Amino acid sequence: MASETSDVLIVGAGIAGTTLALELANSGLSVTLLDRRYVGGGSSSLNAGGVRQQFGQEINVRIAVNTVRRISTLREEFGEDVAHRRAGYLFVYANPDHERLLREAVALQNRWDVPTRMVSPAEIADLVPGTRVDSVLGGSFGPTDGYVDPRAVVTAFGRAATRAGARIEIAEVTRIEASDSRARAVIAGDRRFEAGVVVNAAGAWAPKLAALYSGELPIEPLRSEIFVLDHALVGGRLTPMVLDYSLGLAFHTEGRGLLISAGRTTPFPDAPTTVSPDPEHFFELMRRLTERVPEVADYGLAHAWAGLIEVTPDNNPIAGWTHLDNVFTLAGFSGHGMSIAPGLATEAARLLRGERPRLPIEAYALERFSGGREVEPEAIWSGARVYELIDPSPGT
């Protein structure tokens, strides 16, 4: 079996893999990007497309600032329209614990020149006309945040990586040969790939890939569902990405419709290649959304899909050398890969080239979970864990 060789082999052509491939190829390294389906064929194309800087930990804020800056220049840099809508991100709360959480986060974000601010119920009603705010205490709003077409973003980075010299190959990894603490070859069916460095950027499937070289990753695959209604809100104005803590859901304008994603996530430990949404869950989501935006009661379902997100114990990614001397992990983005991965790719590429990252990404090292250490979770998150932890009210 002849070997196909490169300096770096990246397994997983999602937002993490494509952005890293571009960074490395631009620096002159030979890069192979390997995926079992196609660029964006996994979870990265199946999310709600949110791009935000509203995080509660400094490293996440700083990385996300770089991501938003990068996303905002893609049209000029690549000549591609990724449907970037800088409509803002609005967190809505009805619980004093959420207010404390968001207020502390806004103070942190402001220190890094992110212009988020706390907003009143009246301001929320102005930002999203038709919203009922009688049970709302307030929110936080980031005017420079927004959302994109996630598939367009991933494919744009994939095409840019190819133009920079990266080679994209479609094949499913079946075996990894390892000896003397190094990955020697990655076998995909009847093909053999050798590289100086192997990057595990397989997202929700990263633990399965790690098992092929006897590694373990604390990443839990969860199903996340998205439903798109057949109408936009009255007035046709772009909504911010709205994350409603009290109702356990998020929504934003999607073309001529309205996209809804749920806080509820379902464990899928076997991480199948594809997953489907639960139709019954749509009716529960509509009941909740109608509480906040009554006009949607008359809207219908246009289409729906589901994907897997890869969640770590602290809702932060794993980025660093793991298990073998030449294996690097870039996975576990916990549902905010679109916000974190493009900004993190630059720093990860420096580490892979033997350079010192400019930002303290050692916070993402796998070792943080070892030795019984306690890790501080990223609390400004859209997932079910936040609702259940702070606001376990009925229906969330």
Give Cα 20 to chain centroid, integer Å.
15
pLDDT band for position 264 (50/70/90)?
low
140 shares a domain with 236: yes
Does residue 243 fall inside a structural domain?
yes
Q: What is the pLDDT of residues 200-244, one digit of tens each?
A: 999 999 999 999 999 999 999 999 999 999 999 977 789 999 999
335 shares a domain with 318: yes
> What number of other Cβ atoms are within 10 A of residue 392's Cβ?
9
299 shares a domain with 186: no
Q: What pLDDT shows up at residue 382?
A: 54
The stretch 108-131 carries a mean pLDDT of: 97
Given a contact cutoff of 8 angstroms between Cβ atoms, the answer to whether 277 and 264 are in contact is no
158 shares a domain with 215: yes
Does residue 51 fall inside a structural domain?
no
Element (H, E) at 344: helix 337-352
Instruction: Supply the CATH number for residue 100's domain.
Output: 3.30.9.10
Q: What pLDDT shows up at residue 390?
A: 41
Instruction: Supply the CATH number for residue 160's domain.
Output: 3.50.50.60
125 shares a domain with 202: no
Report strand pairing: 3-11 vs 191-200.
parallel
Does residue 241 fall inside a structural domain?
yes
271 shares a domain with 245: yes
Q: What pLDDT shows up at residue 263?
A: 66
Q: What pLDDT shows up at residue 1?
A: 75
The stretch 328-352 carries a mean pLDDT of: 97
Does residue 349 fall inside a structural domain?
yes
- Of 352 and 387, the structure prediction assigns the larger pLDDT to 352
167 shares a domain with 268: no
Q: What pLDDT shows up at residue 371?
A: 83
Q: What is the pLDDT of residues 147-164, one digit of tens each?
A: 999 999 999 999 999 999
Query: Could you tell me the pTM of the whole model?
Result: 0.95
Given a contact cutoff of 8 angstroms between Cβ atoms, the answer to whether 224 and 335 are in contact is yes
Q: What pLDDT shows up at residue 103?
A: 97
238 shares a domain with 94: yes
* Strand ranges for 61-181 from DSSP E: 89-93, 117-119, 138-142, 146-147, 167-170, 175-179
Does residue 136 fall inside a structural domain?
yes
335 shares a domain with 205: yes
Q: What is the pLDDT of residues 126-140, one digit of tens each?
A: 999 999 999 999 999
Structural domain of 203 = 3-46+151-219+314-369
117 shares a domain with 193: no
- Counting the structural domains of the chain, the total is 2
pLDDT band for position 365 (50/70/90)?
very high
The stretch 275-301 carries a mean pLDDT of: 93
Does residue 260 fall inside a structural domain?
yes
Q: What pLDDT shows up at residue 388?
A: 45
301 shares a domain with 156: no
Residue 138 region by backbone torsions, left for phi larger than 0, else alpha for psi between -120 and 50, else beta: left
The tokens of 252 are what?
């934003």
pLDDT band for position 392 (50/70/90)?
very low
The stretch 10-22 carries a mean pLDDT of: 98
Please name which of 44, 5, 25 lies closest in space to residue 162, comparing C-alpha atoms: 25
Does residue 348 fall inside a structural domain?
yes
**Lowest mean pLDDT, pick from 53-62, 75-84, 306-315, 371-380:** 371-380
Does residue 81 fall inside a structural domain?
no
263 shares a domain with 167: no
